Structures are given as structure tokens and as C-alpha cells.
Amino acid sequence: MPVNRRDFLKLAGLALGSTLLGSESAQAAVDTTKSVGMLYDATKCVGCNACTNGCRDWNKTPVEQDPSGLYDAPKELTAKTWTLIQLYKSQNEYSFVKRQCMHCVHPACVSACPVHALRKTDNGPVIYDPSRCIGCRYCMYACPFHVPRFEWDKVIPVIAKCTLCADRLSSGVGGPRCAEYCPTGALIWGQRDKLLAEAKQRIADHPKLYHDHVYGESEAGGTSVLYLASVPYEKLGLPKFDSEPVPQLSEKMGSVSIPGILLGVPLALIGIRYIAKEQGWVEE
């Protein structure tokens, strides 16, 4: 199966980042019985974007205006918009879908970051330390959900994304603000394992309403944000994965030595350029 440019760059960034990280790249196991998560039930969502407003209110991110003049109607995640609602619609079916960081149980962005600017906390959120970031954007290439965004308009740009309101959780103020703003109960938060049990019970109680799978239970090693929907998840733009964590490659390279790094990085760069040239992505 041919590899497209975007996927190739992701794998290249992940491989280089893991080589630079060496033995420090491996992530400690996350206890999902204690970590926090969210459950998004698309069948209850009315597309009101209260979650987006709640996120803006707590994180003080500015509203956006597109070139056509539409006010605060972003179509994709940006450095200023960390969560939003999109609509899937075909001739016979439709469904809303929420976009935000998935806070993976084994996050590829954390594994790919060569300076540990990203880390997975014990209680679930994947958080970011801008003071450590060098702007390499390996996290953007490595993320299988295309989530981290770069602040291109800043003099000293940083990565921006949903934090699962880690500050609220750690201070005891409450849970993710988007969930607390949701007026229909389409978005709830709590212990990940309990949310997973709740999602499975909803499927059992209403088998004709839901697609028979909880997205995020095992995809890419599992995510802290779980989904229920009435249509197949691929139609909502949620990619298919097996249960193997995406950072598995980098974790297997934990024993790389310093001489191996000194030799491996140049060879990796040569290999990347060769493949890119063969694919016609670069010119001589």
C-alpha cells in the first residue's frame, strides 16, 4: 500500500524523535481505573457549540473570524480553537461530531517530542510545557488524530491544544469545562473506566440506536475521550486503528546508545531524503 506524504512525514518525525529520546521515551503505564476521561454521545448532540464557548471562557482563547466574515465559525481545530462541533450529513443520515485532543492512553505526541514538552499525567490529561518546546512540530506529525496546532502568527510560536482542563482537575475546581457547558448531556466526564461501562450499557439498552462499538476503547492503545454514535465512526472522520499503541515503535527503541544516535540520525535523514526524492516530494 503506497504511503502518502502526510503519513510519511508523521512516521519520519516519530522515528527521529524516538531516536533522539532514546531510553527516556518510554511512557509509564497509565492506570485507567483512576484516570479521567470524557464520553461524547453524538446521538444527544444538537450542534450548539456550547462546548466551544465553554472552552473559550475557561482558557481565554480569542474568537475567530474567517475571510468571508463569519464570526467564530471555525471549520477546523486551530491554535485558538481547541474544541468544536462538525456535522456529517449524507442523503440518508447525519450526525454531529466533536473534535478535540483525544488524550491517548499512550500518546504518540509525547513519545515523539525530543525535549519532553508534552507529557501524560497520571490522572489522564496530556499536557504541554511551552518553556521546553523548540518548535520542531514532531508532535503534529506523530499525532494520528491531527490535533496539535501551531501558533503561526506569534513571534515565539508554541503548540496549542485541548488540555482536558488539567488545571481544573488538579485544583479541584471541576471537570472539563466543555462537558460542564453541554446542555443536553451529550458530553459527560468522569473516571474513564466508568464512562466506558456507561457507554457499553447504552449500547446494550438501545442496540438499534448506536453503532455497536465504543470508539476509543482500544483504538491506538485507547483514548481518554470516548465516542458513541449512530453511524460508523469512519464517516465522522475518526480513523481506524488496531489496539497497538502508536508509540510502540519508539518504545522498542529505548535501548539506543549515544553512538547509535550519532550514527542513526544522519542515516535516518539520508533515508528520509532518498524516499522523499523517489516519491517526487523534493527536487534536486
Q: What pLDDT digit, counting tens, does each position of 163-182 carry?
A: 999 999 999 999 999 999 99
pLDDT reported for residue 252: 47
Domains of the chain: 5-249 (3.30.70.20)
Sorted by sequence, the CB contacts under 8 Å of residue 106 that are 6+ apart come out as: 27, 30, 120, 220, 221, 222, 245, 246, 247, 248
What residues of the chain score a pLDDT lower than 70?
1-30, 67, 69-72, 154-155, 248-284
Q: How many CA atoms lie within 13 A of 201 on its CB side?
A: 7
pLDDT for position 32 = 72
Q: Which three cell numbers mark 121?
A: 499525567
DSSP code of residue 64? -
CB 251 within 8 A of CB 112: no
Q: What is the pLDDT of residues 2-49, one digit of tens each?
A: 445 555 554 555 555 545 444 344 455 567 777 999 999 999 999 999
CA 139 to chain centre: 10
- According to the model, what pLDDT value does residue 274 have? 60
Exposed e or buried b for every residue in 54-78, given b needs 16+ CB within 10 A? bbbebbebeebeeeeeeebebeebb
Q: What's the CA gap between 219 and 1, in Å, rounded?
A: 21
Distance of CA 191 to the CA centre of its chain: 19
| Model pLDDT, residue 157 | 75
DSSP letter at 193 equals H
Contact 5, 230 (CB under 8 A): no
Cα 217 from Cα 226, distance rounded (Å)? 7
CA-CA distance, 256 to 21, in Å (whole number)? 9
Is the Cβ–Cβ distance between 81 and 52 less than 8 Å?
yes
